[in-house]
Structure 1
C-alpha cells in the first residue's frame, strides 16, 4: 500500500516548485502504477482547477473545513509556467490512465499554457448556509489597561469577540463595546455576565456606560435592580454595600423586584441599599472613568511599553547568537533600506525594500513595513553556516488570501536553506532541505502546525516564532510566546548545518527563466521586527521576547 503522506509530500513539493528530478520520477512511477496515487492526484487537480477558476470569476472560497476528520488538507495551486517538459510528459502519462475521469478537465498544452474553461460562479443563495462563517460574540473587547486576570478567567486579547457568559478581572480597566452600540468602561475588580448584544448582568464592579440613541433600551441587571437606558451616559457601581446609579446625561429607568419604576435624569443620583431602600446622593462623576480618560491612560501605558521595548532591543543587539536583527526602529528615512540592527553594524546585512511601504508599527512611534502588492518584498543576502536556527517576528496579517503567505524564504531552497511561511489553512509551515538539489536522498520534513488562524486575528499584531534544533532533530512552532506544535524530525531529513544566501522577507524570489511568471506568495499584512538566531532558543527565551515586545 502506498503511503498517502508520501504522495502528499511529493505533490506539495511539486506545487512549491522544489521537487527535484528524483522526486519527479518517483511521482511519475506512483501515478502510473498505483490507483490510490492517481485518485489523490485527481483530487488535488480538481481542487486546483476550482480555486483557479474561482479566482478568475470572483467566486467565493472553497470551504476546506469540510474535509473529513484526519484528512491532510493541502492548499491547491494552479499549474506553474516554470514547469519543465518533464511535467508535460507526466500530465500526458496520467491522462492515459485516467482519461475517462479527467476528460474536460484542465491539463497543460505542450507550451505549458493551461486550457481555459468557463464555470459559472455560485451565488450565495445556492450555497450551503451551514458553510458560512459565523460568530458567537455579543460584544467586542476594544481596550485593556493594566488588567490582571483571575485564575478562573482565561486571558482575553484586545479585539476579541466576547460570547455570552462570564467576564471578570481583578484590577485595571476594560472597554467593552456591545453589538447594539453601547459602550462600557469597566473598572476592576469586576464580574459581568454578558447575556445578549443588548443586555448584561453586573455582579460586581464600577462602570461608566455610553449609550447613543441607536442603542436605546440597553439593559443592565443586578440582583436587586434592573436598569433600562433611554439614551444616556451613566455610572453604575455594584458592591456588597448596595447599588449606586448616577446619570451624567439623559435618562434611565430603574425597575426593582417589587415592580416599582423610578426615573433618573441628568444630574441625579441615588443608592439602593442592601435593605431595598432608595437614598438620594450627590453625583460624583469623577469616580467613573470616561472613554477619553481611559484613552489617555492607554496612551501613557503604550508609551511606557515602547520605552521598555527600546531598552530591551538595545541590549539584544549585542547577543552573540544573532545572525541578523531587523528592529524596524532605526532613525532616518530608511532610503528604501531595512537596516540590520545587530552590533557591530554590518551594512551588508541591510535589506533592500522593494514595493513594501512604511506604516505605523506596534506602537504609533514605531514603524513597520506593509506588504500588499504581489511584488512587495525585502531582499537580503545573509552569508555563513549555522548549527541551528530561530526565527521570531511580529506580524500583522490582514488576510490569508494566498495559498502560501511568505514570512522568510530563501531563493534557491538548496541544502541547508529554510522556508518559513503560512498556509491559507492557517498553519505555520517550516522546512529545510537536507540534500543538494538534484542529489538523491531523503526529502525535506514539512513541519506543519495545527491551524491557529481565525478571523478575529485580522489586523492584530501577533508574535510568531520557530526553532530548528539540529542537535535534537526538533522543530517547534510558537504563537504569542506559547508552543503551538513540536515536531520530532528523522535525522536524515535534516542537514548537518543551515545557511541562507539570497532570500526574501515577506515574499519569494522572482523567476529567472525567460517568459516565466512567479507565484503570488507575498504576505498580505505587515512585519514589525524580525530576529534570526544561530541557535534554537528555549521556550522561556521565546516567551521573554514576546513579553518585552507585546504592544
Structure 2
C-alpha cells in the first residue's frame, strides 16, 4: 500500500482538483487493500471534522492572511458534504465486509491526526495533557517544536512562542488548530495573545469571526456553539464577522470587549448572530506566566522574607519559585487539575486548588526557622468553601509539630495555632466565619509574647502567650494542605485541603508592625 499516494489523491478529491485518471487510480487502491480503505476513511472523517469546526477557510499562503468566506458557499458545502458522506459510507461498507482481515493489520493502521510544518516552540507547559501530542503521539515537552495540526488540550496551560515574536497562552479545555505563524483556529477554549509589530495581523479564527491583531495584547474565549468573547488590553484589534451574508467588522481598542452570540441550525450553519458590548475581564485570562516585579513584590522583598511564594511556576510546572534570598523552591505535588492549576491572582497568577477533589498542594522541604520566636506570615487567599482545618500554610504535621499552623479551624474561622515554651498548643481565631467568594488578605504576627491575627489590614484577634517553642523537629512547609510527618504527601487523617486560590505567601522571622501589615493589604488592592 502506497499510503502517501492515497493521501495525495484523497486530498485532491476532497479539494475538487482530481482528474478522471486519478479517480480511477484512487478507486483501484481502495479496491485492492483494506488498509488503503481505512486510511481513506480516516482522512474523510478528519476533513469532515475540520469542516464542521472551521467551515470554509483556506490555509494562508506564506504569511498572507486569507480573506474569510461568508456563508454564501453554504449550498456548495452541503453538496460537498453529501458527496463525502456517500463516499465515506461506501468505504465504511467495504471495511466492514473485510472482517476476516487479521487483527494485527488493523492495529498497525495510523490513528494520528495531521502534523505539518513546524510553527512554534512550546515555551511553557504547566500541567498540560493533550489528547494527541506531537508527530509520534507523545506529550510535547518544554523547548520542543510544535507543528501544524489539530490539537485538543484536555488540561493545563501552554505557551507557544513563534519566530515572528508572537506569543499565545492557551488554557484547557481547548480545541484548536495551528494553521500558520499568523493563524490559530479555535472552536473551544481560552487564548491570550501578545503580538509585536513584526507579527501584525496575527489572527484567532472562530466559527463566527476572525479576531485580527493590529498591534495588541488581547484574549479570546470560545464556548462551542454558544458565544465568542474578545477582550483587548493593549492596542487595537479588528473583529470581522465571517458567518454572515454581508461583511461586518468591529474595531476594538484597549479596555474594550465584546461578546458574539450565535446558534447553529440542524445543518450546522451559523445563524442569529449578535455582537454586544461587555465589561473587560481583567482577572479571567492567564495573560502572563511570569510573575510581575511590581510594587507589592518589591515591598515584600524589602521587608526581608525567609520564604516568599508569589506563585511563579517553572516552565514545566513542577516547581514554584521561592523569591526570597534563600531560594527554597516548592514542589508541586499532586497537581493534576482537570482544567488549570493557575488562575489570575491578586498580583499576577495564583495557585488554584479544589479541596478534597483535587488534593493538590505545595511542598517545601525546608526553610529558615525563627531562632528568637518572632514570626510574621502574610498571604492573599480566596476561599470557595470552608473545609475543616483548611490549610493556608503550615509548618505542622500529623504528630510532629513546627512553629505555626495557619488556616481555618474545624468550623470555618480564620485560625492560627502555635506552641508555647511550656508545650501548650494555643489557638487564636477570628470571631466571624471566613468570607467565601472574595480575595482576603490574612496575616498573623508572633511577637514572642503575643500573637496577633489580621484580616484586610485590621486586627481581628490577639492573645498573650508564653513565647514560642522553637524545639519542633518538622522542617518542611505545606501550602494548601497539612503535610505528613514521614513523606512528602499530605496528612492522611486531617489534611485540610484548601478549596480556592492562594497567592503571595510570605514568611518573616521578625515582627511586622500594624502599619506594615496595612500597607501589604493596600498594595494588593
Normalised TM-score (structure 2): 0.40
Structure with the largest fraction of strand: 2
Normalised TM-score (structure 1): 0.38
